[in-house]
Chains A and B, each alone.
Chain A
Amino acid sequence: MARVQLRNLEKVYGGTVKAVHGIDLDIADGEFMVFVGPSGCAKSTTLRMVAGLEEITGGEVLIGGQRVNDLAPGKRSIAMVFQNYALYPHMKVRGNLAFGLKIAGRKKPEIEAAIAEVARILEIEPLLDRLPKQLSGGQAQRVALGRALIKKPGVFLFDEPLSNLDAKLRASMRVRITELHRRLKAEGLSSTVIYVTHDQTEAMTMGDRICVMQAGRIMQVATPKELYEHPANLFVAGFIGSPEMNLLDGRIEGGDFVIGGQRTPLGPKVTDRLSDLPAEAVLGIRPQHLGLAQSGLAARLTNAEFMGHEVYLHADLEGRPIVAVVGAAQYEALGRAERIHLRPEPEHIHVFDKSGGGNVSLRPSRLAA
Chain B
Amino acid sequence: MDIHADMDMDGFNEARAARRARLRALSAALRYLMLFTVGLVMLYPLIWLVGASFKTNAEIFSGAGFIPRHPTLDGYIEGWRTSTPYTFGRFFWNSFLIILPKVIGTAISCTMAAYAFARFDFPLKKVLFTSVIAILLLPNVVTRIPQYMLFRDLGWLDSFLPLWVPSAFAGDAFFVFMLVQFLRSLPADMEEAARVDGANSLQTLVYIVVPMLAPALISVCLFQFMWTMNDFLGPLIYLSSVEKYPVSLALKLSIDTTEAFEWNRILAMSVLTITPALVIFFAAQRYFIEGISAGGVKG
Contacts and interface: CB of A to CB of B under 8 A. Distances in A.
Nearest to A99: B197
B295 A89 contact: yes
A74 B190 contact: no
B189 A82 contact: yes
B201 to A, nearest CB: 10
B292 interface: yes
B215 to A, nearest CB: 11
Interface of B: 187, 189-190, 192-200, 203, 207-208, 211-212, 214, 292-299
A72 B200 CA distance: 8
Contacts of B207: 88, 99
A68 B292 CA distance: 35
A169 interface: no
B199 A84 contact: no
B295 A82 contact: no
- What is the size category of the interface that chain A forms with chain B? 20 to 34
Given A82-B193, A88-B190, A90-B211, A131 B295 contact: yes
Nearest to B187: A84
A89 B192 CA distance: 14
23 contacts: A52-B196, A72-B195, A72-B200, A73-B196, A74-B195, A74-B198, A78-B196, A80-B192, A80-B196, A82-B193, A86-B189, A86-B193, A86-B297, A87-B190, A87-B193, A88-B193, A90-B214, A90-B292, A99-B194, A103-B197, A103-B198, A134-B295, A164-B298
Given A74-B197, A100-B197, A53 B192 contact: yes
Given A82-B189, A84-B187, A133-B294, A89 B196 contact: no
Contact of A88 (B195, B203, B208): B208
Nearest to A151: B197
A103 B203 CA distance: 8
A73 B295 contact: no
B197 A84 contact: no
Given A72-B200, A103-B198, 18 more contacts: A52-B195, A52-B196, A79-B196, A82-B192, A84-B298, A85-B296, A85-B297, A86-B297, A87-B190, A88-B208, A89-B190, A90-B296, A99-B194, A133-B296, A137-B298, A147-B193, A147-B197, A164-B299
Contacts of A271: none
Contacts of A89: 190, 211-212, 292-297
B198 A100 contact: yes
A151 B193 CA distance: 13
Nearest to B195: A73
Interface in A108-147: 131-135, 137, 140, 147
Contacts of B296: 85-90, 132-133
Nearest to A148: B196
Contact of A90 (B187, B193, B200, B212): B212
Contacts of A52: 195-196
A51 B197 CA distance: 11
Nearest to B199: A103
A368 interface: no
Contact of B297 (A84, A134, A147): A84
Contacts of A131: 295
